[in-house]
């Protein structure tokens, strides 16, 4: 489904039911995520910095 939406920054809101099953509440592009006011370069740089600090590859 994410490929079909064809947005550069996908936000998916999920929730877990009492039964333990995960469900999708909604999908939006980045302008609905609360990250619209941040520079995309600053956001990705912060993500890369965290990844480097944690040793993730």
Residue environment code for 17-30, b if the CB has 16+ CB neighbours within 10 A, otherwise e = eeeeeeeeeebeeb
* 3-55 confidence digits (pLDDT tens): 777 777 788 888 999 999 999 988 877 776 666 677 878 888 888 898 888 87
Alpha-carbon gap, residue 12 to 24, rounded angstroms: 7
User: C-alpha dihedral over 43, 32, 25, 2, to 10 degrees?
Assistant: -60
Residue boundaries of the structural domains of the chain: 2-54
Alpha-carbon gap, residue 23 to 5, rounded angstroms: 18
Tell me the whole-structure pTM to 2 decimals.
0.45
* 31-40 confidence digits (pLDDT tens): 766 666 778 7
E strand or H helix that includes residue 19: none
């Amino acid at each position: 489904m994410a490929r079909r939406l064809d947005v550069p920054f996908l936000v998916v809101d999920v929730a877990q039911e009492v039964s333990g099953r995960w469900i999708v509440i909604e999908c939006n592009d980045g302008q609905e995520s609360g990250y619209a006011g941040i520079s995309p370069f600053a956001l990705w740089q912060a993500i890369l910095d965290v990844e480097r600090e944690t040793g993730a590859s």
